[in-house]
Structure 1
Amino acid sequence: MAASDRMLALLSLLQARRDWPGTELARRLGVSERTVRRDVDRLRGMGYRVEAAKGPAGGYRLDAGGALPPLLFDDEQAVALGVALAQSAIAGPDLRDAAARARATLRQVLPGHLRERLDALTAAVDQAVPETATRVDPAVLHNAAAAVDGRRTLRIAYGGRDEPRRIEPHRLVLRDGRWYLVAWDLGPAGWRLLRVDRVRILGGAGRPFRPRRIPGGDALRFVESRMRGGGYDGRWPCIGSVELLLPASEVEPFAGDGTVERLDDDRCRVTLGAWSWPALAARFATFDAPFVSPRPRALMEACEILAARLASAAAR
């Protein structure tokens, strides 16, 4: 094996496993342990931090260093990384721009056959950029993530206000192009869902805290419940059904998270949820077809309320 090829093979092995005995590296590479030691010294000269343990059972470990050295990816890793970077629009405009630069850097050094694979995969995948995507300060996002990982309190200002708040940050959630921070507010005590683009961090991380159980069991369910205005089980607070005078096949593509039950060729029963009963009645009206038998009674009363409001608006 040529020296350059052997160096790449050694680096690939060191990246694949935490600890390697020197004898095992020598056996894998088909060289002597002395040659392995020389190659390790060359890697150190290139900026890789390779730690060595002495003794009969001594070996090598690739640790993180103070600067970013050249990285080695196999073909599948390189293509997967490039596709992931291309799909970064959901993360918001700031991270999207950084990801685009990283992808361009990666693509520039890819061999021709891998560049073709990456371009083909990227071109074949459609990506909808969320309309709600908001710009987030990367420093705020980084500090929030560090506090979540380190289980440290944060002192923040929120929503353009100056009064400080102390929170226990538990999880970051990316939903529809917008970053949210699930946190326990220390005063007044309670769970909060904070938009990261509205957070201003005042100072560094604070005291350590013991994590609490997020309502609903996980952060994603908590975010969904807050978005829907319901309980922590992620369900809509108001759920009802109507008999819609349309074929089930025409309703199903637009039912979203609801259910559609076929009654006959021209009718179906649709069950949907919403944050209020009048809002639920309005959801059924968006199908632009007559409906009957609203259930439960609260939905029927909401239909009467909505009808009165629409009649009043039309009269004016």
Structure 2
Amino acid sequence: MPETSARLLLLLSLLQARREWPTDELAARLEVSRRTVRRDVDRLRDLGYPVHVTRGPGAAYRLDAGSRLPPLLFDDEQAVAVAVALRTAPTTVSGIDEAAARALATIRQVMPARLRHAIDAMRVTPLANPWELAAPRVDSGLLLSLGTAVRGGEVLAFDYLDHSGPGEERQPSRRVEPHHLVIWSGRWYLVGWDQGLPGWAAFRVDRVSAPTATGRRFARRELPGGDVAAFVTSQFDRGDVPGHWPCRGEVVLDAPAEVVARWAPGGPVVEALGPDRCRLVLGAWSWIGLAALVGTFAADIEVIGPPELVAACAELSHRYAAAAGFPAPQGG
């Protein structure tokens, strides 16, 4: 059983994490009796925390919000999580570097020595994923505007830079019912129902500008499949620009388009040619690297072009044959 002070901190942490806790669940998590839970709740009330209890056989506790709520307390794991989040947040959101540093300094100042040492030892240096294009940071004010619309269920109007090859152009006045803000692979996405299509879409937030709340509310729709992460990763064109890579090629794979779209790096463009066949346009740092990436799908490959990709596939076939101890392929 934890000591009383540690148990009170854990109890407070649990009450902050969930709207309501049945007494039996709290007793089980704290490894104490129901009577001890009641006494600990009374101690929190004495410290000024407004803990409300529902009476009866299904008694439950909740921590009410209020102007007299004392400063929130963190347990060790929460404090470390907050510190790490503050150190990594500026890598994807612009305009919060100084605020995050000040917040981290404030939290560090009130930490016990053991936690300060742990935080100081965790020097987090986020690195770009070499399999992805550099993810642009997004403005914190833009995220706030989009998040407010998502929470309020309000239709948004915004301009959007649509990727359609070399001639990118900003399309004005997209009207979208915003449902989710998602960060995936270092990029922020707004998932919503595009009233102009109409249909579901994932918009790269760094391509959104001039968001305007229309004042019109919308009824919540059910996202296909119900899984926002799966929806974003299954989009054939997530707005990445494969032309930014030094090498770009096109192949046809005997594999389902949704599988290839989910796992292909380098800003892919995927077109379904049938239930188990698709066209893939992919970028990479070298022709050998591009040929190797295409081979990771464990599917039959037809190289459309360019000739450099054909040559790279031939070179790889020789290398792999030698590595496996087989005679080099003929004609390559």
Number of the residue aligned with 1:174? 183
Conserved? CA contact 2:52–2:61, under 8 Å: yes
Q: Deviations over 1:229-253 (max 9, x none)?
A: 895540645459xxxxxxxxxx57x
Number of the residue aligned with 1:257? 293
Question: For residues 234 and 203 of structure 2, what CA distance do their matches in structure 1 show?
Answer: 15
Question: For residues 43 and 107 of structure 2, what CA distance do their matches in structure 1 show?
Answer: 26
Number of the residue aligned with 1:16? 14
- 1:10–1:211 CA distance, 2 compared to 1 (3 A): same
Conserved? CA contact 2:93–2:140, under 8 Å: no
Question: For residues 255 and 76 of structure 1, what CA distance do their matches in structure 2 show?
Answer: 44
Secondary structure at the aligned position of 2:78 is classed as helix
Secondary structure at the aligned position of 1:257 is classed as helix
Conserved? CA contact 1:20–1:59, under 8 Å: yes
Number of the residue aligned with 2:326? none
Number of the residue aligned with 1:134? 137
Question: For residues 230 and 81 of structure 2, what CA distance do their matches in structure 1 show?
Answer: 31
Conserved? CA contact 1:257–1:272, under 8 Å: no
Give the TM-score taking structure 2 as reference length: 0.57
- 1:28–1:239 CA distance, 2 compared to 1 (3 A): same
Number of the residue aligned with 1:266? none
Question: For residues 228 and 186 of structure 1, what CA distance do their matches in structure 2 show?
Answer: 25
Gaps of 5+ in 1: 241-250, 262-269, 294-316
Number of the residue aligned with 2:87? 86
Question: For residues 98 and 56 of structure 2, what CA distance do their matches in structure 1 show?
Answer: 49
Superposed, which structure 2 residues align to 1:66-105 within 5 Å?
Answer: 69-105=70-106
AA aligned to 2:13 is Q
Question: For residues 69 and 36 of structure 2, what CA distance do their matches in structure 1 show?
Answer: 28
Q: Deviations over 1:247-291 (max 9, x none)?
A: xxxx57x76733379xxxxxxxx9799xxx55x555677x7x978
- Find 1:209's aligned residue among 220, 239, 263: 220
Gaps of 5+ in 2: 162-169, 243-249, 251-256, 265-269, 272-278, 282-287, 319-332
What percent of counterpart residues are identical? 31
Secondary structure at the aligned position of 1:222 is classed as coil
AA aligned to 1:136 is D
- Find 2:174's aligned residue among 157, 165, 186: 165
Conserved? CA contact 2:189–2:205, under 8 Å: yes
Bigger CA radius of gyration: 1
Question: For residues 153 and 61 of structure 1, what CA distance do their matches in structure 2 show?
Answer: 30
The CA deviation at 1:93 is 1.8
Question: For residues 7 and 97 of structure 1, what CA distance do their matches in structure 2 show?
Answer: 34
Conserved? CA contact 1:216–1:222, under 8 Å: no
Number of the residue aligned with 1:41? 45
- Find 1:145's aligned residue among 144, 147, 166: 147
Conserved? CA contact 1:221–1:232, under 8 Å: yes
Number of the residue aligned with 1:107? 108
Give the TM-score taking structure 1 as reference length: 0.59
Root mean square deviation of aligned Cα: 4.9
Superposed, which structure 2 residues align to 1:231-310 within 5 Å?
Answer: 232-233=258-259, 234=261, 236-237=270-271, 238-239=279-280, 257-259=293-295, 277=304, 281=307
The CA deviation at 1:225 is 5.3
Secondary structure at the aligned position of 1:87 is classed as helix
- 1:58–1:202 CA distance, 2 compared to 1 (3 A): same
- 1:206–1:68 CA distance, 2 compared to 1 (3 A): farther
- 1:117–1:38 CA distance, 2 compared to 1 (3 A): closer
